[in-house]
């Protein structure tokens, strides 16, 4: 069976030549019915000998000479010897010979596939070959294979006992597959409920189901709700407190509302019935959510992580928006007595959580009204006392928002200077402990809003100290966080230039026309409008910039409008029509989808994308955001989640964000200046545009509204995310 075969590297040819001396295969008589099998094995040997990924892996591991010789010997001489053994074995008939030759072929193919996919190391070939020989001999002698299987990894067992196993008639196969399932779920605990149905009659199934209930209650809840499935029925037979509680929740029509309180119910702090009763009243339910959240923070500090503790925060945010924020926002034209009436029943802790969970949806005037009521409700207006009462939960978010809305200085003034200093030091400490970046982004976004120079200097010094500490302990995550913040804080006005050179971020001061233009020299823009009252009014105002102007041609289509420059460089703007949703058929979404399809079909790829709508519409714009976008005008809150979502799609995008819903008195002048500059072929210069706008919005309401907009070169949160990503890569 042995053939000449070039293997791995040319410089091994001489060394390996003795292993490749051909035998006289004519002496071996092969049944014609098995010749094709031998040929397939021979071919697979040749494939492995010349497999580039195998050579590459050996090179990356600095090439183990001994391993190369072993693999050469294994795939040539030993494989040939095993073929000969199977073929000449007088104790087996044709069927058995076919079985074992097929097993050898499958083993070689799976090894080759693993090498090609990059999930198998070269040395595993030796293990697979040795295990196969052991299995073959045991099976040939009618011996159980279970003992061999229990000594192998799941990956090895999967090769020999997975689908199409050649050991289908060995009496131990069922036991081996049960053992393999235990191996699988041990390595993939989140997949127990997905995969356990074939094993529900096994003694270990109850144990696995209970473990899943405790470790993954949210996932378990969904499976428990499926009452007609085999698993759903099995779950209801298990008498275990956590399982029984989850079943009760799944069967309760109010279960989703009670679900976040699982930990308190399980520990006996709250009764199921009391939570169920509270869920029937919006105020009582929200109040219980806040109280439970504060209790959970205490548990976390004591390193007693509550079950599903994150679900409480999510539900607070949901209910704060649904019950309170939406109403306060909607009444923005009413007097304060009417507008904020719904908040009268709330204490300062409950008002605090409306603020810290409502960053993405609060209007500026809503925030300022709630903030003033919060501080009035705090005993002696003491900010430090208020934070202690909420156990400093989400305090960075609170400080970031206070800074952004120009409330940080009065907030810090509400406490002793020593407390204010300690609070702000805590604000920038411990950022390396967070698995995500939101806390660090909040710090970055806050800095430019801090007016006290002494405070700025203290924070800068603290960040420098933390950088040195993280570097000393070798924490790359922490070191990068504080390094970037140090650069941002050293000169907030020039931070993007410094970050460009240090962290390889493209400049954010300017964007040239050529960088925005497509292959045909056009700058294509897409504008997303929504059909509520504000959206329709915004659309009318937007169109007044272009209607009846000699520089622009406006063409109205069924679902969108096209605006094209007639003078200067080609600038093409496409905006969907803001249809009113009278019949619940969501015509806005249809119009936006049809417009996106049209642009794609005509190879028109927007490099400027503009969101014109409330912050609760923003997620729909982001979901449709084209990767081609290089300028993104959010026109509503630019919180971390939104910035991160945009940069995930368009890593190099210049982002204009606002702390409130985009207002037409600011949006339209920004867009007008930007498009006039593009039409003239100058590209966009954000500093020049912002200087003009500052003069235009010099006083009154317009100045306040404009102050809420953050240009790309001052969007420190976005700069931080880009710098962190580049540095870690």
Report helix, strand or coil for 30: coil
pLDDT recorded at residue 50: 64
pLDDT recorded at residue 22: 36
Tokens, residue 174: 């069922």
pLDDT recorded at residue 506: 80
Nearest to 30, CA basis, from 17, 39, 43, 19: 39
Show the DSSP H helices in 188-229 as ranges. 192-195, 205-215, 217-225
**Res. 636 pLDDT band, cuts 50 70 90:** low
Q: Which residue has the tokens 């923003």?
A: 618
pLDDT recorded at residue 498: 66
Decide if pLDDT at 153 tops 80: yes
Residues 575, 529: contact at Cβ < 8 Å? yes
**What DSSP character marks residue 585?**
S
**Res. 157 pLDDT band, cuts 50 70 90:** very high
**Res. 380 pLDDT band, cuts 50 70 90:** confident
Q: Which positions ≥6 away from 517 have C-beta within 8 Å?
A: 523, 569, 607
Q: How far apart are CA 354 and CA 349, in angstroms?
A: 9
pLDDT recorded at residue 15: 36
Over pLDDT 90: what percentage of the chain? 62
The per-residue pLDDT for range 109-144, each reduced to its tens digit, is 999 888 888 788 888 889 999 999 999 999 999 999
441 φ/ψ sector (left φ>0, alpha ψ -120 to 50, else beta): alpha
The per-residue pLDDT for range 510-562, each reduced to its tens digit, is 899 999 999 999 999 999 999 888 888 889 999 999 999 999 999 999 999 99
pLDDT recorded at residue 27: 52
Nearest to 587, CA basis, from 671, 652, 530: 530
Q: What average pLDDT score do residues 441-454 get?
A: 82
Q: What average pLDDT score do residues 93-114 get?
A: 93
Show the DSSP H helices in 74-117 as ranges. 79-88, 94-117
Tokens, residue 375: 């501080």
Pairing of strands 631-637, 654-658: parallel
Whole-model pTM above 0.75? no
Sign (positive or negative) of CA dihedral 508, 625, 659, 709: positive
- Radius of gyration in angstroms for the set of CA atoms belonging to the chain, rounded to a whole number: 34
Q: Which positions ≥6 away from 325 have C-beta within 8 Å?
A: 354, 358, 361, 362, 366
Residues 706, 595: contact at Cβ < 8 Å? no
Instruction: Write b or e for each residue in 116-129: b if 16 or more Cβ atoms lie within 10 A of its Cβ, otherwise e.
Output: eeeebebebbebbb
Q: How far apart are CA 715 and CA 724, in angstroms?
A: 14
Q: What average pLDDT score do residues 369-377 get?
A: 96
């Amino acid at each position: 069976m042995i053939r000449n075969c070039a293997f791995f590297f040319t410089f091994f040819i001489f060394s390996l030549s003795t292993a490749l001396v051909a035998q006289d295969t004519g002496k071996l008589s092969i049944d014609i019915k098995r010749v094709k099998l031998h040929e397939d094995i021979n071919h697979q040997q040749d494939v492995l000998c010349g497999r580039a990924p195998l050579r590459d892996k050996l090179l990356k591991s600095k090439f183990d000479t001994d391993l190369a010789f072993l693999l050469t010997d294994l795939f040539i001489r030993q494989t040939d010897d095993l073929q000969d053994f199977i073929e000449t074995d007088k104790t087996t008939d044709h069927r058995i010979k076919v079985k074992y030759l097929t097993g050898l072929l499958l083993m070689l193919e799976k090894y080759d596939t693993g090498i090609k996919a990059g999930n198998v190391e070269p040395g595993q070939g030796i293990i697979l070959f040795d295990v196969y020989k052991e299995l073959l001999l045991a099976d040939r002698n009618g011996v159980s294979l279970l003992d061999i299987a229990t000594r192998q990894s799941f990956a090895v067992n999967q090769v020999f006992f997975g689908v199409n196993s050649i050991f289908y008639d060995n009496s131990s196969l069922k036991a081996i597959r049960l053992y393999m399932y235990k191996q699988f779920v041990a390595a993939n605990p989140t997949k127990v409920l997905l995969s356990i149905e074939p094993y529900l009659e096994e003694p270990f199934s109850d144990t696995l189901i209970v473990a899943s209930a405790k470790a993954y209650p949210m996932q378990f809840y969904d499976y428990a709700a499926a009452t007609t499935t085999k698993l759903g029925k099995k779950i209801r037979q298990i008498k275990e407190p956590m399982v029984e509680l989850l079943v009760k929740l799944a069967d309760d029509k109010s279960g989703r509302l009670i679900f976040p309180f699982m930990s308190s119910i399980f520990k006996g702090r709250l009764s199921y019935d009391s939570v169920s009763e509270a869920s029937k009243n919006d105020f009582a339910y929200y109040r219980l959510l806040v109280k439970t959240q504060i209790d959970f923070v205490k548990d976390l500090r004591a390193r007693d992580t509550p079950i599903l503790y994150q679900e409480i925060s999510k539900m607070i945010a949901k209910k704060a928006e649904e019950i309170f924020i939406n109403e306060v926002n909607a009444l923005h034209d009413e007097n304060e007595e009417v507008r904020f009436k719904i908040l009268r029943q709330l204490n300062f802790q409950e008002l605090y959580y409306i603020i810290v969970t409502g960053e993405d949806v609060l209007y500026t005037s809503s925030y300022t009204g709630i903030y003033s009521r919060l501080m009035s409700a705090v005993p002696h207006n003491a900010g430090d006392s208020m934070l202690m009462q909420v156990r400093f939960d989400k305090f960075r978010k609170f400080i970031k928002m206070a800074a952004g809305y120009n409330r940080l200085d009065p907030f810090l003034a509400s406490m002793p200077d020593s407390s204010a200093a300690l609070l702000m030091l805590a604000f920038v400490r411990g950022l390396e402990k967070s698995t995500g970046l939101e806390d660090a982004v909040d710090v970055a976004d806050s800095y430019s809003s801090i007016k006290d120079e002494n405070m700025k200097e203290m924070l800068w010094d603290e960040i420098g100290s933390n950088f040195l500490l993280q570097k000393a302990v070798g924490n790359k995550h922490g070191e990068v966080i504080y390094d970037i913040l140090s650069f941002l804080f050293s000169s907030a006005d020039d931070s993007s230039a410094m970050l460009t050179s240090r962290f390889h971020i493209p400049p954010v001061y300017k964007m040239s026309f050529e960088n925005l233009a497509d292959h045909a020299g056009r700058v294509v823009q897409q504008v997303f409008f929504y059909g509520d009252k504000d959206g329709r009014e915004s659309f009318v105002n937007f169109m007044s910039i272009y209607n009846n102007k000699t520089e622009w041609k406006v063409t109205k289509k069924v679902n969108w409008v096209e605006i094209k420059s007639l003078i200067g460089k080609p600038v093409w703007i496409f905006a969907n029509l803001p249809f009113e949703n009278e019949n619940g058929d969501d015509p806005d979404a249809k119009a936006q989808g049809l417009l996106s399809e049209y642009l794609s079909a005509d190879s028109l790829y927007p490099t400027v994308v503009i969101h014109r709508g409330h912050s609760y519409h923003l997620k729909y714009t982001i979901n449709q955001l084209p990767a081609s976008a290089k300028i993104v005008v959010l026109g509503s809150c630019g919180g971390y989640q939104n910035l991160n979502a945009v940069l995930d799609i368009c890593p190099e995008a210049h982002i204009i964000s606002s702390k409130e819903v985009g207002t037409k008195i600011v949006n339209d002048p920004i867009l007008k200046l930007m498009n006039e500059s593009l039409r003239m072929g100058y590209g966009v210069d954000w500093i020049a545009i912002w200087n003009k706008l500052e003069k235009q919005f010099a006083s009154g309401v317009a100045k306040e509204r404009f102050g809420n907009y953050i240009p790309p070169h001052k969007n420190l949160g976005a700069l931080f995310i880009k710098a962190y990503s580049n540095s870690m890569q």
